[in-house]
Amino acid sequence: MATWSMLSFQDTASPVMTQLMMFYDFVMIVVIMIMTVVGLIMMFMVSYKFTNKYMLQEQWVETIWTILPMLVMFVIVLPAFRTLYLLDDPFMSSLTLKTTGHQWYWSYEYSDFPNVEFDSYMVPKELSLNRLLDVDNNTILPVYTQVRVILSSTDVIHAWTVPALGIKSDAVPGRLNQVLFFIDRLGNYYGQCSEICGANHSFMPIKIESTFMKNFLSWLSHMF
């Protein structure tokens, strides 16, 4: 989860978020290189007393500053497409979780199992270890399992967002959206609604608790 001193992303808990962070680092390297080169050129131009007339009106210069940005964009586009295809994971899911947004709480239904559904409300701050993030019913999911989440809403547009898993998708009334992810380590992962859905928008958190499959099945047996 995020802390006050954290300046970067949260620790990743899924391969998709790992790829997103790698792409971000790559783009930042390219951006820093461009800013450095442009800054040096501007510094040299300001510090020199004389101006080269061919730097102001020269076809080769115009050709170079037209082609170079195209090459930079091409270098960025290739890993960007790769990351986008990974986000739209084509693999079949082993578990389906239906999530419904309400004003202002979430409802969960494990579609593969009968009568396993519950509402998830935020815990009052007096009873919460993590203010505005803890809920009364955690969303239990197994690790090393491909999970599909089907999103919808009953009133307004909400957004189901878990940064550590690289997930952010809208829950739209009358429509079903789908996200897939794979949790690769144990832990508790927090998120919040990322759409301004009303007065209590900041009071509908998400808490996912990842556990081993045998513990998940044991929890399910108590929910029947």
Determine, yes or no, domain membership for 6. Answer: no
- Number of domains making up the chain: 2
Do 45 and 137 sit in the same domain of this protein? no
Beta bridge partners of 178: 150
Do 109 and 163 sit in the same domain of this protein? yes
CA 125/CA 117 separation, integer angstroms: 25
Find the range with the poorest average confidence among 52-66, 90-104, 137-151. 52-66
Determine, yes or no, domain membership for 9. Answer: no
Do 162 and 99 sit in the same domain of this protein? yes
User: CA angle, 65 as apex, 61 and 69 as ends, to 5°?
Assistant: 165
Instruction: Classify residue 165 by burial, with Cβ atoms within 10 Å: 0-12, 13-18, 19+.
Output: buried
Tell me which of 87, 114, 147 is where a domain ends.
87
Q: For residue range 28-75, what is the model confidence (pLDDT) as tens digits?
A: 999 999 999 999 988 887 887 776 666 666 778 788 888 998 999 999
Determine, yes or no, domain membership for 111. Answer: yes
- Amino acid, res. 16: V
CA 100/CA 171 separation, integer angstroms: 7
Q: What is the enclosing helix (H) or strand (E) of 76?
A: helix 59-87
Determine, yes or no, domain membership for 79. Answer: yes
Report phi then psi at 208, rounded to 5: -105, 130
CA 193/CA 80 separation, integer angstroms: 26
Determine, yes or no, domain membership for 5. Answer: no
Determine, yes or no, domain membership for 4. Answer: no
Instruction: Classify residue 17 by burial, with Cβ atoms within 10 Å: 0-12, 13-18, 19+.
Output: buried
The pLDDT of residue 110: 94
Share of the chain above pLDDT 90, in %: 63
Find the range with the poorest average confidence among 49-58, 71-80, 113-122, 173-182. 49-58
Q: Which domain holds residue 176?
A: 95-223
Read off the CATH number of the domain in which 194 is found.
2.60.40.420
Q: Which pTM was predicted?
A: 0.83
CA 108/CA 139 separation, integer angstroms: 8
Do 110 and 78 sit in the same domain of this protein? no
- Quickly count helices (H) and strands (E) in the chain: 4, 10
- Amino acid, res. 176: L
Q: pLDDT higher for 27 or 47?
A: 27
**What Cα–Cα distance (Å) separates residue 199 from each residue in 103, 170, 174, 203, 213?**
9, 18, 22, 9, 38
Q: Is 95 helix (H, G, I), strand (E, B) or coil?
A: strand
Tell me which of 47, 66, 87 is where a domain ends.
87
Would you state the structure tokens that stand for residue 126, as one six-digit string?
Answer: 């007096």
Find the range with the poorest average confidence among 27-31, 94-98, 125-129, 180-184. 125-129
Do 114 and 215 sit in the same domain of this protein? yes
